Structures are given as structure tokens and as C-alpha cells.
Structure 1
Amino acid sequence: MDDTVAYEAPMRRALELAARGPVTGGNPQVGCVLVDATGAIVAEGWHRGAGTPHAEVDALSKVSDARGLTAVVTLEPCNHTGRTGPCSEALIAAGVTRVVYAATDPGHASGGGAARLRDAGVDVIAGVLAAEVSAFLHIWLTAVGRHRPWVTVKWASTLDGRAAADDGTSQWITGTAARQRVHEQRAASDAILVGTGTVLADDPSLTARGDGGELLPHQPLPVVVGETAVPATAALHRHPAGLLETGTRDIAAVLTALDARGIRRVYVEGGPTLASAVIASGLADEFAVYLAPALLGGTRLAVGDLGITTIAEARRLAITSIEQLGEDLLVMARPTHHAPEGS
């Protein structure tokens, strides 16, 4: 049995541990196990969110002596000082003799841990279960690798694609189960984007709430795209995560600024104008489409002009999941190819 196969079982355990961590907060979900010379796991750790010990340090804290152990970790140990110190240095100081990891850290500042470990004489094995771990970390790896957040565009519509009746009424197109799933998706996002038109027309709160109306533990930062100031009396000023007014319609610039704040997941919930602009710019990575079994007709489409003039230019999507929520459907889809970003 080669070394790669020998470490697959502990790597799968590390991946299970990684899934316990939060998807929000800017940092990746990472798990780590320490194994001895027989391959037995002697300690486990995972990252619990920004500012808390990283998975490697969490695992190291559970043994009195790590000399001679092997660290099996889902992501290449970091090599920079942020809110916590570099994991590469912690592993070296602890006397770990081998580090096995799955996915390479694409971060300009955080990457390079493997090289630092090798320079210190630590044996490093890379790529164990790389495909599985990379699929698990796909959103985070994509966001960090291209220096902008992952963007999910959400809308709710009737089967004929209408987001509202011609008189403007839209509450409620979907039922309670679908609306609750929206709150769950908000809570799994770092920021929620809305246009100034929606703010002025609907005065949304954009909080993530539970079945009983209670605030969920994580709240996305509301980000208003547009040049019009949010009225002082707007509900968004009372949002528990604060409020970011961008003062611009330049969506690409907004996403760049959010990336600089460590925001990796963005949920677009700003109505047809904003949704259409994001899609037309080639900046949508995923779609969350809630479909109600109803027909409205009329002109209030869920998505407006995308600059498409012929069927050959259609934005083709790959459906990743379909879920029934009460009488409604949630269709999750991703582009099969992108238009050039910022087009």
C-alpha cells in the first residue's frame, strides 16, 4: 500500500470534521487529524470560525507531545499571520514529522505552507483525496482563487417566469416552506446584495430568521448597490450586521471591495434589475430559483434584458439539484460556461 492510499481513511475523517465548521466568515472549513506510526488517530481538530484556532492548532492542543506524529489535514497548512499564527510554524514547532494534505491553498498570503514545511525538514505528501476535498471546498477555493466572492442569484417566480403581478404585488408568490429556505440561504451567506430600487419600494429587513421569526445566529451583511442613499428610516439601518452602502452601480467593483473585506459568499436578492445586471455581466456563479405552481402573465418578469438577441447566445445552465418545498420547487443551477466577467 502506498502512502497516498494509507492516508485516505484519516483524510476522510478530517473531511468529516471540516464539515462541522461554519461556511461563512471568510475562512475555509478545515479538518485535521493526528496519527501515530501505526496509523491510529490520536487527536482531532477543526476550524470553528474566524479568530478561533485553525484545525491543525486545535488538534495539536489535544496532545501533550506531537513529536513523531503525522498531521492529516484537508487544506494545505497556512503560512501567514492573520488573527492567528501560521499553522506551518505551529506544526514545525510541535515536532510533527509528516504532513499530509488534500487541496492546495490558492491564497496569495496564506499559501506556501507546504514549501515552508519542506524547508524545515518535514515530510510533505500532497493531493490525498484532492478531488473530494476540492469539491467540498469548491466555493471557497473559487472565491479565493479569482479574488472575488461566489455569487448566488436568487429569485422567486411563477411557472411562467413572473416575479410580481402587473400591479406590483408579489407577496407571496411562494409558500412558507420556500420562504424559510430563503432565510437559511441568507444565513449561509456572508453578504446579501440588494438594489436601491428594492430598498425604496419594499423597505426589506434582509435578516435571516427561523421558523418562529427569531434571528438566526449568523446574519449576512446587507449591501446596497446603487447611487441613491438609503433613507434614514429604512429597516436596513436596524440590521444586526450593519449596513454597507456602495454608492455605485458597478457590480464588479462592489465584489472586489467585498473580497477585500474577506467576504466569500454573496447572495443576490435585489429584484429583476440587479439580478439581470449581475447575470448580464457574467458574474453569477449559481442560481437559486424558487418556482410556484401559479401563472400571472403580464410584464413583471423575474429576469429582464440580458443583452441576448438570439437563441445561440442563451446562458445555458446545469441543474445541480431540485427540491420540493411544500407546493413549490427550488431549482439550483450553475452556468455551464461564463460570459466574460464585466461584459
Structure 2
Amino acid sequence: MSPTDRAFMAHALGLGRRTMGQTWPNPSVGCVIVREGRVVGRGWTAPGGRPHAEPQALAQAGEAARGATAYVTLEPCAHHGLTPPCTDALIAAGVARVVAPFPDSDPRVFGRGFAALRAAGVAVETGVMAEEAGRDHVGFLTRVRMGRPHVTLKLAASLDGRIATATGESQWITGTGARAYVHAARAQSDAVMVGAGTVRADDPSLTARGMGVSRQPVRVVVSRLIDLPLMGQLARTARDVPVWLCHGPDAPSETRRAWQGLGAKLLPCRLSGRQLDPGSVLDALGQAGLTRIFCEGGGALAATLMQADLVDEFMGFTAGVALGAEGRPSLGALGIDRLAEAHRFALIETRAVGGDILHRWVRAD
């Protein structure tokens, strides 16, 4: 990998991040067209998933695309969907070389885009910044490979691991810097997910504020009986920002009708004992098109996801305050008797954010 290829691919990845969280079920792809060392076209997946990055970059490049190199952050699509294949557009524009990190895992595309380009005489190089691209496309790749969204669990806790006082007061344990970071993380996620207890206790809006996004994340509530306030913020704004309710088969029909009348989308899920099965919840969200879930708890939902080994990334904020044993724990009971039974995560980042500490972890396996 040449330094030049790496630099232009880094530019393309940066473009793709501009609409991360706004393009589901499509990946957020970036594309840079370069001719004789000069960028002649740039594009990224538009909110809603279309148009794709490549045709936008090619339109900007015009005739300058002929003989140029296209840096694309994922294999160009090769199938006819709502739009023609991007491989056809690249070939028709006369691009001489395509650089990409890896094949698209979608079985409709996998390797076919590269094969079509090579068959047309276009040079193809892969493996450029594959690790970085993998992190950016992790939600799309998880949904394609596993049928469910990638899940990031966020917890903001005191030094002793509490998320609220004994009376339930939790605003605000962390400072303004951490809260701004969380809003940015929401903006880059397809959906923000919480449990019913969090909605009843905090009446949250769950929107990404101050980020200038054109498409707010879906607000997902996991609630077996949909026992949620019909006059709360989510109910009042369900027609403006999507609200999806994952519920059980025993949710009262009148409650379902009330929420549907408010504009909410209902997703029926299976039960596991007396709780919603977390795998069924994520499968339903994946089938509905979501690729990246930012879960903000509370403790019961967080514990359920941890027990089911469905947390892919953990984002924690630790504040310089102690609440004591009477405070509410950040995680509900996990039923762990031996340390060997606990799920392990690998640290990928730690730094100060304002007066708090951010630590990010991913699956150790």
C-alpha cells in the first residue's frame, strides 16, 4: 500500500463518515476520484441510502474521470436495485483503476463488482485501509453476516459503578463534554435503544441535539407490555422522529392501537421466560433495516444484552463522584458465579472528556 493510496482512501473514509447513521440499511460509503494526483470528484452515500457515493463523485468529476483512479470505501455494487450498479457507472466513465478495502459481504455483490471491473479492463486493488474501513462499516457487515445490528452499549457511571442515586436521580452524573460526545454518538447510529424503565423514569427525548443531522436516529424502546407514558416526550413526538416499540405477544391490543395512532411502529418479538428474548429483538430490528444500535440502558436491558452475549462494543463514561452501595448499579444481575463466566472485552480507547473518563471496549474474541 503506497502512502498516496492510503492518503486518498483516508479521505474517502472521512467522506463516508459524514452520513454515518443516516443511510441504513445501506452502508455509508465514501468515494474520491483522483487524476494525476489531484482530486477531481468526491461523493458519499446520501441520507436515506441513495444516491450512492460513486455516481455522485463521477458526476462531479465529469470527463476528468476518464483514466482516473477511484478510491471507494467498499466494493462497488454490481446488482440492479433501486439504482443501476455503480460498477457500470465506473466503467462507463472510463475509470482506469479502482482501489477498495475489501469485498462487499452482501451476497448480491460479493466479489462480483470487482470481477465486472476487471472484465472491463479496470485495474482493481484491494486491502487498502481494510481495518479502518471495517470499523466504519461494522454495522452493515454485522447485519449482512449475522442478521442483526451491531450493538454499542453506553453506560455513564460514578466511580463506584452507579448510574443513579437510591431515589433514582441521575441527571447529571457526567459533565457537558461527555453529554456532547453521546449526542455525536447518537448522530452516527441508526437507532438509540432503551428499556421501558428508562422511559418511565427519565421521560427522555433520545434525539441527537446540536449535531446538525438531517435524519434523526430511530428511537427504540424494548417493552414487553408497552407500559409507557402516553403523554411523554416519545409519544408527543412520534410523528416527527421515528419511535419503534419492541413488544411481546401479550401486549394489550388497546395499548398497541394507541401507540400506532400516535405514529409509532410496533415490532412483535418472542418471549424468553417472562422477558422479551433479546435475540428476537435484534433480529426484528435487523429485518427492519437497522445496522447500528446505540443502547443507553437502563441496567436491566443492559444486563439482558450482556447475558445473551449481544454487546459488540462497550462505551463507558466514569465521573468523579461516588454514590455508595445504596445507589443504583449500572448493570442488573448477570447471574455470574465464577469469574471465568464473565464476558471479556478488549480496551481500544481511553481518554479524558471534560472532567470525565471515556473508555471504549470491543469483544475480546
TM-score normalized with structure 1 length: 0.85
Q: Deviations over 1:147-197 (max 9, x none)?
A: 321111111211111112222222222222222222222222110111122
Change (3 A) 1:179 1:73: closer
Specify the alignment match of 1:17 in structure 2.
Answer: 12
**Could you tell me how far apart the structure 2 residues matched to 1:217 and 1:32 are?**
21
Single out whichever of 311-320 and 148-157 deviates more from structure 2: 311-320
Specify the alignment match of 2:83 in structure 1.
Answer: 84
Specify the alignment match of 2:224 in structure 1.
Answer: 227
Change (3 A) 1:51 1:131: closer
Contact 1:11 1:72 in 2 (8 A): no
**Could you tell me how far apart the structure 2 residues matched to 1:143 and 1:193 are?**
17
Q: Deviations over 1:176-224 (max 9, x none)?
A: 22222222222221101111222223222112223xxx97544211111
Aligned to 1:56, what secondary structure does the other structure show?
helix
**Could you tell me how far apart the structure 2 residues matched to 1:35 and 1:72 are?**
8
Specify the alignment match of 2:333 in structure 1.
Answer: 305
**Could you tell me how far apart the structure 1 residues matched to 2:176 and 2:129 are?**
40
Change (3 A) 1:28 1:232: same
State which of 254, 259, 265 in structure 1 corresponds to 2:292.
265
Aligned to 2:151, what secondary structure does the other structure show?
strand
Alignment of 1:238-317 (within 5 A): 238-239=237-238, 240-248=240-248, 249-299=276-326, 300-317=328-345
Change (3 A) 1:124 1:217: closer
Specify the code of the residue in structure 1 equivalent to 2:187.
Answer: A
Q: 1:317 Cα shift? A: 2.0
Alignment of 1:50-69 (within 5 A): 50-61=48-59, 62-64=61-63, 66-69=65-68
Specify the alignment match of 1:204 in structure 2.
Answer: 204
Contact 2:218 2:243 in 1 (8 A): yes
Change (3 A) 1:122 1:76: same
Aligned to 1:33, what secondary structure does the other structure show?
strand
Specify the code of the residue in structure 2 equivalent to 1:227.
Answer: R
Aligned to 2:219, what secondary structure does the other structure show?
strand
Specify the code of the residue in structure 1 equivalent to 2:190.
Answer: D
Specify the alignment match of 2:269 in structure 1.
Answer: none
Aligned to 1:19, what secondary structure does the other structure show?
helix
**Could you tell me how far apart the structure 1 residues matched to 2:363 and 2:64 are?**
49
Specify the alignment match of 2:361 in structure 1.
Answer: 333
Aligned to 2:230, what secondary structure does the other structure show?
coil
Runs of 4+ in 1 over 6 A off after TM superposition: none
Aligned to 2:7, what secondary structure does the other structure show?
helix
Contact 2:307 2:334 in 1 (8 A): yes
Change (3 A) 1:131 1:325: closer
Q: 1:315 Cα shift? A: 2.1
Change (3 A) 1:153 1:135: closer
Aligned to 2:362, what secondary structure does the other structure show?
strand
Q: Deviations over 1:211-248 (max 9, x none)?
A: xxx97544211111122223321211215322111113
Contact 1:15 1:31 in 2 (8 A): no
Contact 1:10 1:41 in 2 (8 A): no
Change (3 A) 1:285 1:102: same
Structure 2 residue runs of 5 or longer lacking an equivalent are 249-275
**Could you tell me how far apart the structure 2 residues matched to 1:204 and 1:34 are?**
43
Specify the code of the residue in structure 2 equivalent to 1:32.
Answer: C
Contact 2:29 2:72 in 1 (8 A): yes
**Could you tell me how far apart the structure 2 residues matched to 1:234 and 1:171 are?**
18
Specify the code of the residue in structure 2 equivalent to 1:198.
Answer: T
Q: 1:253 Cα shift? A: 1.9
Change (3 A) 1:35 1:267: closer
Structure 1 residue runs of 5 or longer lacking an equivalent are 338-343
Change (3 A) 1:83 1:129: same
**Could you tell me how far apart the structure 2 residues matched to 1:23 and 1:154 are?**
18
Contact 2:13 2:133 in 1 (8 A): no
Count of matched residue pairs = 327
RMSD over aligned Cα atoms: 2.5
Specify the code of the residue in structure 1 equivalent to 2:219.
Answer: P
Contact 2:63 2:93 in 1 (8 A): no
Q: 1:42 Cα shift? A: 5.7
Change (3 A) 1:133 1:222: closer
